[in-house]
Amino acid sequence: MSTAPVQTGSKRPSRFVEWLKTIVFYELLVGMKATMSHLLHYKPITVQYPHEKRALPDNYRGMLGLLRYDDGTEKCVGCDLCEAACPSRVIRVVSAEVPGEPTKRYSKEYYMDMTRCLFCGMCVKACPVDALGMSQEFEWAVYDKRQLHLNKQQLLAIGDRSFPVREKRLELQHPNVAFFNVSFGHVPQKPN
């Protein structure tokens, strides 16, 4: 008989506490405590934008740029894979053959409409020679959207600004490729 009053006595304070929490809106008070602590201890994080800029993450995808090798030649071989991979069809490549070397191609013209670009990076992944790169540039507010129809020279300028460190040509990276490449003029052809 001594155990029964203890159980009923322990249930009554919990019911009373629940009833009291319902009357004083306890959940609302807990939420207001978080709001008031933020309001009273608020420290603004202000960036003076034109003079100070946020540090962007490494995987930020900004404006696209065409890249060059360290000797200044363009990396793009005019294969049109970036044009085929682009889901919004913003890239247009006109390729041509190198005069006197029918096995080599280059991009004669390269156009990109940045007003429709999704910045997905699929063109960068599709490029077999890593001729495209996503830069960290994001300040491209213009009054006329026709200024965002970029040509080859503008894309090369973005690439030069954003990627100052350039890699060597493929022929100079791998000596075996350089020796067996038939397009080199100084390497004699194999005898038949």
Known binding-site residue numbers: 76, 79, 82, 86, 117, 120, 123, 127
User: DSSP for 28-50?
Assistant: HHHHHHHHHHHHHT-------TT
Q: Which of 137, 45, 132 is nearest to 91 (CA)?
A: 132
For residue 18, give Cα distances in angstroms to 10, 22, 26, 32, 33: 13, 6, 9, 19, 19
Please enumerate, by residue number, every residue annotated as part of a binding site for [4Fe-4S] cluster. 76, 79, 82, 86, 117, 120, 123, 127
Q: Which of 5, 28, 24, 6 is nearest to 16 (CA)?
A: 24
- The conformation of residue 27, written as its DSSP 8-state character, comes to H
**Amino acid identity, position 8:** T
CB crowding 54-73: b at 16 or more within 10 Å, else e: eeeeeeebbbbbbbbbeeee
